[in-house]
Amino acid sequence: MHFAFSDDQKMLRDTVREVLLRECAPEIVRAAWEGRTDGVRAAWNTLAETGVIGMTASDAAGGMGMSELDLLLPLEETGYAAMPGPIVDTVAVGIPLIEAAGTDAQRERWLSPAAAGEVRMVVSFEGQEIVPHAASADVMIAERGGAAFCVPIDEVSVQPERSVDRARELGRVSFEPNPRYQMREEVNTVELFALGRERAALGTAAQLVGLSRRMLDMAVQYAKDREQFGKPIGAQQAIKHRLANALIEQEFARPTVYRAGWSMATSARDAEVDVSLAKIYAGQAAKFVAKEALQVHGAIGYTTECDLHMWMKRAWALAAAHGDAAHHRERIGRHIL
């Protein structure tokens, strides 16, 4: 039993953290809210240069062939930065799907460019019509009627929807299932997309942990800076206890996510139970930290002038995405009861 990340995994995390601190500052997230995504694009390209976007792609496609476990810390950092864009779809789900089920032509057209940061993918699971970032992606991988499709985005109709998190750029997608875009028929599509769902839930859970950390950092800083009654509000026990509770929620959520990543990377028995547990805990923690951070900020936190709201709204959206708590609790219930 050894429950810690390797030095290499931590080094990659530090690299991503530095890149995003520099290139995905809150102003960049705010610009994405207003539809200006140049900054986010630039950050995406820098991440591609560091190899993060191609992490899960094979050597042949210019990637590093890394596992779900390796992905966690970089994705956590994208949550910390509230980086907008389909990074979980592209890196955790899309690239592995094309590696496993893409035709030679599809692999050639999409894989290396994706690893190089030139192509952004979104994924639409069976029954999932609303897809974030579809309009600005290059290709959509979709599961329809038990078959898999890899559709260039200009063949997809994307009707805009509006998320409470404006940086999520939602669209309702539809397309004609054209055999031209079908992926390899001999692969077990159902199984493959089931695995994709687990990866999407896991990657989202990692981002939720990062969102929690950032919101707590903001609230702690605010509690140290803001003075009332002649001293920082953080000197008051009422504030201390809220923030201590937030830290406990967050710190107990983290190992569940790391454990689930390890289970997936090693194809451990009952890995899906671990993923469900991680998704529930990471979502609960992020929503809880958001609420406490808002209360600690007081009225300023209740405005869109304060950065907190962008993290909070992302947390609400992601806690429900790829299976909300009720969905995942039901999966666990079937396993243990």
Partner 1 sequence: MDLNFTDSENAFRDECRSWLEANVPSGALPSGDTKEGFALHLQWEHELFDAGWAAVSWPKEYGGREATLFEWLIFEEEYYRVGAPSRVTQNGIFLLAPTLFEFGTDEQKDRILRPMARGDVTWGQAWSEPNAGSDLASLKSTARRVEGGWRLTGQKTWSTRAAFCDMAYGLFRTDPEQARHRGLTYFMFPLHAEGVTVRGVDRLDGDEGFAEIFLDDVFVPDAEILGEVHQGWKVAMATTSSERGLSLRSPGRFMATATRLIDLYHRFRDRSEPVLRDWVIQAWMDAQVYRWFTFQTVTRMGQGQEIGPDSSMNKVFWSEMDVRTHEIALAIIGNVLELDEGSPSAVDAGAWMKGFQFALAGPIYAGTNEIQRNIIAERVLGLPRK
Whole-angstrom Cα distance, residue 44 to residue 207? 16
- Which range binds partner 1 by CB under 8 A, 135-143, 181-189, 202-210, 232-240? 232-240
141 contributes a contact to partner 1 by CB under 8 A: no
Four-residue CA torsion sign, 176, 133, 142, 150: positive
Output 61 or 223, the one with its CB closest to partner 1: 223
Question: Of residues 31, 187, 320, 332, which one binds partner 1 by CB under 8 A?
Answer: 332
Window 170 to 229, contacts with partner 1 (CB under 8 A): 220, 223-224
H or E, element range at 289: helix 271-297
235 contributes a contact to partner 1 by CB under 8 A: yes
**Cβ 53 to partner 1, closest distance in Å?**
23
- The secondary structure of 247-261 as a DSSP string is HHHHHHHHHHHHHHH
Question: Of residues 263, 289, 297, 307, which one binds partner 1 by CB under 8 A?
Answer: 263
Question: Of residues 17, 259, 309, 314, which one binds partner 1 by CB under 8 A?
Answer: 259
Output 123 or 223, the one with its CB closest to partner 1: 223
CA distances in angstroms from 186 to 101, 130, 180, 182, 291, listed in the order given: 9, 28, 15, 11, 48
Residues 6+ apart with CB under 8 A from 81: 20, 21, 24, 29, 210, 214
Window 78 to 137, contacts with partner 1 (CB under 8 A): none
Window 54 to 73, contacts with partner 1 (CB under 8 A): 69
Check residue 234 and report its DSSP letter. G
Locate 35 and state its tokens.
């539809």
Q: Which residues bind partner 1 (CB under 8 A)?
A: 1-6, 69, 220, 223-224, 231-232, 234-235, 237, 239-241, 243-245, 247-248, 251-256, 258-259, 262-263, 268, 277, 280-281, 329, 332-333, 336-337
